[in-house]
């Protein structure tokens, strides 16, 4: 695993809605993840740990719903 010393950005071709064609995801040192629309400046930053916990809660809720 590589320890980040500077931000690394990648563009995805994921379609979020009809208006949003691509997202840019940036990994920052210290465990922050930034997500923004391509060609936009406004970025939402999330802590990787909080994102992981939210994913676990969502997965648990979905598995309970299926039962």
**Bridge partners, 25 (sequence order):** 10, 35
Is position 43 within any domain?
yes
Mean pLDDT value across the chain: 92
For the cut 90, the answer to whether the pLDDT of residue 14 exceeds it is no
Is position 44 within any domain?
yes
Buried residues in 17-47 as b, exposed as e (16+ CB within 10 A): eeeeeebbeebeeeeeeeebbeeeeeeeeee
Structural domain span for residue 58: 8-66
Per residue in 53-66, pLDDT tens? 999 999 999 999 98
Residue 67: which pLDDT band, with cuts at 50, 70 and 90?
confident
Average the pLDDT over 41-50 and give the result.
96
Is position 1 within any domain?
no
Residue 27: which pLDDT band, with cuts at 50, 70 and 90?
very high
* pTM listed for this prediction: 0.81
- Backbone conformation region of residue 10, classed left if phi is above 0, alpha if psi is from -120 to 50, else beta: beta
What integer pLDDT is reported at residue 52 of this predicted model?
96
Q: Quote the number of domains for the chain.
A: 1
């Amino acid at each position: 695993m590589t320890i980040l010393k500077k931000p690394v950005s990648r563009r995805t071709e994921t379609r979020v809605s009809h208006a949003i064609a691509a997202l840019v995801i940036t990994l920052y040192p210290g465990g922050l993840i930034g997500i923004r629309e391509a060609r936009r400046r406004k970025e939402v930053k999330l802590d990787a740990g909080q994102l992981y916990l939210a994913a676990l809660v969502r997965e648990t809720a979905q598995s309970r719903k299926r039962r």
